[in-house]
Structure 1
Amino acid sequence: MLLTQASLAPYNTFGLTQTADRLVVVEQREQLLSLWQARQDEPLLIVGEGSNLLFTAPFHGLVLVNRLKGIAVTEAADAWLLKVEGGEIWHQLVCWTLEQEMPGLENLALIPGTVGASPIQNIGAYGVELAQYCEQVESLDWHTGETVLWSAADCAFGYRDSVFKHQAKHHLILSVTLRLPKAWQPRTDYGPLAQLGEQAEPRHIFEQVCATRRSKLPDPRVLGNAGSFFKNPKVNLAQAQALQAAWPGMPVFPAGPGQAKLAAGWLIDKAGLKGTRVGGAGVHSQQALVLVNHGGATAEQLIRLADLVRSRVAQQFGVRLEPEVRILNDEGETNLDEVLSCLS
């Protein structure tokens, strides 16, 4: 059913009350042909759970909400191949794979959002990224109406990045095929998982990840948020070493040849920003990486708070933070600087 002037409040975990000119919830693939044939010359936005979106204005176009469901399993000699429809909830998939004794995704437990959104951000946590398990992505090209199959290499995965954030933003992800090797190896070399040791079982890792995330991250059903607002910044090794010398105890992680990754939450915390508010928007009091809606926050307040955080961290550490959250204006994706220029 196609809705006009539809509220986007149910489709973004910040709970912001913007609207879309047109909105449709897609539950069956058969809907897509008629939708595509009746398409108009208008901006397109594809939404899963809306757990990584910041709407700064009413959206003047069509919003497609992906609710396609289904999991098909093919067993190979060395792995399980799972073709998962894009509207499946990611955390529910992780739980299902463990119940079926198909481990591998446990480090990615409790990441909000749908399976269809997972390759867009190349979701990751605790030393694991989707790219390590992605075999293939199936999408619908909204410009041509054609179904496209993408190999993992085609997806151009990077840190919280993929081709679907750039050249292929107009693609609706129909399904993601995951390859889970039967020769499972635990990944416990990151943060709180280290205490589990190399002999940890998948369920132990899953429980530790869930406990850690729940202890730090607010439930968006209680306190509006979009998870980690900023990416963990990458710097060169020389800068990382200089910062560690000036700030003993600063966490630093390897990030490829000549590069290091810093913990954005640590930087924000040490800049004294926990609990800082701009109107109804605030930096979470327990996890500084999360910006929250304390009630009645506006998009402008969240944007000004994000700018304040970015400015303070740059001033204190000489490091520029980039949002992980997708910032949207009336026609599609934009960035923090463009929105700020419109506000000033």
Structure 2
Amino acid sequence: MTLTDQFDLSARNTLGLPSHARHGGMLPDAGAMIEALAFARDKGLPFHLLGGGSNCVLAPQIEAVVGVSGMTGRWIDTSAPDAVRVTACAGESWPGLVEWSVAQGVSGLENLAGIPGTVGAAPIQNIGAYGVELSDIFESLIAFDTETSAFRRFDKAACRFAYRHSRFKEIPGRYIVTEVTLALPRPWRPVLRYAGLDALPAGSDARTIMQAVLALRGTKLPDWRETGNAGSFFHNPIVPEAEAARYAEVPGHAVEGGRKLSAGWLLEASGLKGYRCGDAGFSEQHALVLVNHGRATFDDVTRLAATAVERVRERFGVTLVQEPVTLG
């Protein structure tokens, strides 16, 4: 393991913000991760592990040890009659895993195609798209407990999944995911109820659905390699059932405990589509996506996010919650 002083993270976050960590480097395996964690403790610094940098807002200077996950490896187990099990190490690309599994003739991940980031980050966020959440197909993960210095296995119930949430967000930094196993049910049934997929023929195969998902994402979300962004910048807020009638005009749907509202609609209705602070702005394609128009700074992003929260709260009485994690 080699750590570098003033490790440059500018090309390691999809928002494209200029950033350096006090110390950092690539961590090719779990052993290197444990060494980096020990180094951080010795220096009295926090330790953070980045995957693809797709769900974070990085400050210009991060006083911490920041490792970039390089743990790779993936395999498929078809021995069980009820499910195909796909296991991948934390540093594997999530979109790469989806495309690879479909190419292997394995169905069940296609609705989650194109979500940037790594496998290790997927359960922390409980990623979801087009009618499917990771928790729908999740079986277990292995994580390193930084308090006990031991590896631990978590099944689905232990992860306490909810909308864009897991137990790992409740105690950030304690557990570092190293491996994830997904169980894709047999027989496979396509999920086509989401708008844009519901026009596909009922007999569509996983590759056809994956291509449709990628095309839909392309119409809504700018490619971060061309226009820096962190995907959806705010959670879709959930209002209590007793208050749902107040928001009849807002697109949404009933969920457990209330009604989930469209954050993108709330932002657009508040005049924020295309709105900018410096070089940070909300996309003209989709108001929920905060983009870097070229030279956005951390201050630009934080000012823009604060403005959005204030405007939506003033107009609708709803407080938006930022989805990407801020490191600074």
Q: Same fold (TM over 0.5)?
A: yes
> Are 2:56 and 1:53 equivalent residues in the alignment?
yes
* Aligned position for 1:336: none
> Are 2:179 and 1:175 equivalent residues in the alignment?
yes
Distance (whole Å) between structure 1 residues aligned to residue 235 and residue 145 of structure 2: 28
Distance (whole Å) between structure 2 residues aligned to residue 327 and residue 118 of structure 1: 17
Cα deviations by residue, 1:59-84 (Å, 9 ceiling, x for unpaired) = 11111211111112222111111220
| SS, match of residue 207 in structure 1 | helix
* Aligned position for 1:335: none
Give the CA deviation at 1:218.
Answer: 0.9
Give the CA deviation at 1:239.
Answer: 2.9
Distance (whole Å) between structure 2 residues aligned to residue 118 and residue 218 of structure 1: 20
> Are 2:69 and 1:70 equivalent residues in the alignment?
no
Distance (whole Å) between structure 1 residues aligned to residue 11 and residue 176 of structure 2: 20
Distance (whole Å) between structure 1 residues aligned to residue 9 and residue 284 of structure 2: 27
Give the CA deviation at 1:28.
Answer: 2.7
Give the CA deviation at 1:168.
Answer: 5.2
> Are 2:296 and 1:312 equivalent residues in the alignment?
no
Question: Is contact 1:264-1:289 (8 Å) kept?
Answer: yes
Give the CA deviation at 1:210.
Answer: 0.5
User: Cα 1:51–1:219, aligned 2, differ >3 Å: closer, same or farther?
Assistant: same
Question: Is contact 1:44-1:170 (8 Å) kept?
Answer: no
* Aligned position for 2:215: 211
Give the CA deviation at 1:243.
Answer: 1.9
* Aligned position for 2:253: 253
> Are 2:9 and 1:8 equivalent residues in the alignment?
yes
Cα deviations by residue, 1:92-142 (Å, 9 ceiling, x for unpaired) = 111111111111111111001000000110001112111111111111123
User: Cα 1:153–1:216, aligned 2, differ >3 Å: closer, same or farther?
Assistant: same
Question: Is contact 2:4-2:24 (8 Å) kept?
Answer: yes
User: Cα 1:311–1:33, aligned 2, differ >3 Å: closer, same or farther?
Assistant: closer
* Aligned position for 1:269: 268
Give the CA deviation at 1:198.
Answer: 4.0
* Aligned position for 2:139: 135
Question: Is contact 2:36-2:65 (8 Å) kept?
Answer: no
Residue-pair matches, total: 324
Question: Is contact 1:232-1:264 (8 Å) kept?
Answer: yes
Distance (whole Å) between structure 2 residues aligned to residue 144 and residue 3 of structure 1: 27
Identity %: 41
Give the CA deviation at 1:285.
Answer: 0.6
What amino acid is aligned across from residue 251 of structure 2 in structure 1?
P
Question: Is contact 1:122-1:130 (8 Å) kept?
Answer: yes
Gaps of 5+ in 1: 330-344
Distance (whole Å) between structure 2 residues aligned to residue 56 and residue 34 of structure 1: 25
| SS, match of residue 32 in structure 2 | helix
Q: Following superposition of structure 1 onto structure 2, how do residues 1-344 of structure 1 map, counting pairs within 5 Å?
A: 1-39=2-40, 40=42, 41-75=44-78, 76-167=80-171, 169-196=173-200, 198-244=202-248, 247=249, 250-256=250-256, 258-329=257-328
Distance (whole Å) between structure 1 residues aligned to residue 102 and residue 26 of structure 2: 29
What amino acid is aligned across from residue 145 of structure 1 in structure 2?
S
Distance (whole Å) between structure 1 residues aligned to residue 327 and residue 172 of structure 2: 16
What amino acid is aligned across from residue 236 of structure 1 in structure 2?
P
Distance (whole Å) between structure 1 residues aligned to residue 33 and residue 49 of structure 2: 13
TM-score normalised per structure 2: 0.94
Distance (whole Å) between structure 1 residues aligned to residue 33 and residue 320 of structure 2: 38
Gaps of 5+ in 2: none
Give the CA deviation at 1:211.
Answer: 0.5
